[in-house]
Amino acid sequence: MNASKILIRRVAAVAVAAVTLIGLTGCGGLTIPADPDGTLQTVSGGELRVGVSPDPGLVTDRGPDGGTPTGSLPDLVEGFADSIDAEIEWTEGSEETLVGMLERGDLDVVAGGFTSDTPWIDKAGVTRGYPQIEGADGREIVLLVPLGENAFLSAVERYLDEEVGSR
């Protein structure tokens, strides 16, 4: 095949790719990153269901009266909720229980002593590690969100980047 035919085929392939890309970006409602289950849209102006697992320095338990947990992580989660105009419903439990609830869609975010080498990586979306969180003691603390809810994950990370900085 001569050089001019190869050039014509390459130009045609690039044109087809460009038209396809333009067509996809013109699709109504297509945003990247996306939330297949609409978590960010659902919790914004609504209810943010938060699971917490006590961890010294990061999360204190809610006590016998079931009050609001305290610590640097609940403070950050409350700030994020305020930023999206959401009310928080707190649930306290073990890591395994909370991750199971996250998988079933019963929670929107889980906070505790989770680190960047969490074993839950195949069960939950994981934020970047944040060693600057007060009480982290050098650990890269992460929050867990529903797997695949990338717009929500990005919103949480943007908030954390602003509040505690990224690595």
Q: Mean of the pLDDT values across residues 7-28?
A: 49
Each residue's pLDDT tens digit, 24-58: 444 555 556 786 777 889 899 999 999 999 999 89
What gap in Å lies between CA 82 and CA 2, rounded to an integer? 64
Spatial neighbors of 129 by CB under 8 A, at least 6 apart, are: 115, 116, 140, 141, 142, 167
SS3 at position 146: coil
Say which residue, 19 or 93, is predicted with more confidence: 93
What is the pLDDT at residue 10? 59
What is the pLDDT at residue 4? 59
* Helix %, strand %, coil % of the chain (to 5): 40, 15, 45
What gap in Å lies between CA 131 and CA 125, rounded to an integer? 18
What is the pLDDT at residue 116? 93
What is the pLDDT at residue 21? 46
Say which residue, 74 or 11, is predicted with more confidence: 74
pLDDT at 1 over 90: no
Each residue's pLDDT tens digit, 64-78: 677 789 999 999 999
Q: Which two tokens stand for residue 41?
A: 């849209």
What gap in Å lies between CA 22 and CA 38, rounded to an integer? 24
Query: What is the DSSP code (8-state) at residue 141?
Result: B
Distance of CA 91 to the CA centre of its chain: 18
Q: What backbone phi and psi angles, to 5 degrees, belong to 10?
A: -65, -40
What is the pLDDT at residue 8? 56
What is the pLDDT at residue 31? 57
Q: Mean of the pLDDT values across residues 65-93?
A: 93
pTM for this one? 0.79
pLDDT at 11 over 80: no
Mean pLDDT is highest, among 2-16, 51-65, 145-159, for 145-159
